[in-house]
Each structure stands twice: as C-alpha cells, then as structure tokens.
C-alpha cells in the first residue's frame, strides 16, 4: 500500500507535468514534489544535504523536460526509471516490514539505485552523501 503523502505527491507530479504538456514524468518530478514533505526535510537535514540547492537543481531539470504545444500533446507518461523506482521502493518497504510505501522509501531507493536510474548528474551529485548512503 502507498502512503497518503506519497499518493498525493505522485498525483501532483502527474498533474504538474500534464499541465506543462510534458511528455514524461520523471523521478526528478516526484523528488521535487516530495522535497517539502516533513519526513524528507528531516532526513535531508540530518544527512547534511542542502534541500534548497537540491530543489533548485530539480526545478532546473524538470523545467527542461520535453514539452509539446497544446495541439500536439497526447498525454504524460511515467518514464521506465520512475516506474522502476516505485517498484523497487515497494520491495524495499516490504523487506523492511513496513505496512506502506512512504516518501522515505522513494528517497532511499533513489540513493541506492541512482546511477542505474539515469538521474540527472547534477541532481545525483546533490543527493550523494556518504552519511546518507550509509542509511
């Protein structure tokens, strides 16, 4: 089961991408929606990750996502990387015995799988922290 905060963030990510006529919703779209979630802010702060700088880079990346003019727009789809992130977060939550998948599971998955997910290199650099990766 997906937690309510994660469900709301997924929905808001799709809405934002759709309203911008973006072809794809990426992992970065979801991370941007989750960055203000209290559990994520606490986690970022305890890991000495600059949430403001990460937000700037996520906004930069998301704003460059391919968009179409209204007449050519056919809808927004999740990238394979986003789908894989959600699937791996579900597995991570189950393995930990959690009753539901939370935003923290998403961030843990991104840290663990960042290179394989083809994250934007600048975003990945902001999320790299030996303290965070130890979690």
More confident residue, 133 or 128: 128
> How far lies 37's CA from each of 6, 22, 25, 117, 128, in Å?
9, 24, 19, 22, 19
Whether the per-residue pLDDT at 111 is higher than 90: the answer is: no
Q: What is the mean pLDDT of residues 35-54?
A: 87
What was the pLDDT predicted at 128?
64
What is the model's pTM?
0.84
Among 34-38, 47-51, 82-86, where is mean pLDDT lowest? 47-51
Read off the pLDDT of residues 67-85 as tens digits, 9 standing for 90 and up.
888 788 888 999 999 999 9
Domain ranges of the chain: 4-133
Of 98 and 121, the structure prediction assigns the larger pLDDT to 98
Mean pLDDT of 7-28: 93
pLDDT of 21 reads 92
Q: Which CATH architecture has domain 4-133?
A: Orthogonal Bundle (1.10)
């Amino acid at each position: 089961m997906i937690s309510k905060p994660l469900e709301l963030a997924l929905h808001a990510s799709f809405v934002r991408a759709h309203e911008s006529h973006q072809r794809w919703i990426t992992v970065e779209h979801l991370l941007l929606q989750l960055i203000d979630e209290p559990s994520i802010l606490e986690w970022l702060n305890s890991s000495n990750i600059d949430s403001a700088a990460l937000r700037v880079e996520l906004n930069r990346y998301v704003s460059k996502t391919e968009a179409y003019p209204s007449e050519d727009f056919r809808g927004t789809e999740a990238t394979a990387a986003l789908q894989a992130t959600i699937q791996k977060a579900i597995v991570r939550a189950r393995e930990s015995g959690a009753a539901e998948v939370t935003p923290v599971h998403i961030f843990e998955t991104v840290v663990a799988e960042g290179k394989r997910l083809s994250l934007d290199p600048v975003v990945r650099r902001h999320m790299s922290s030996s303290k965070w990766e130890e979690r």
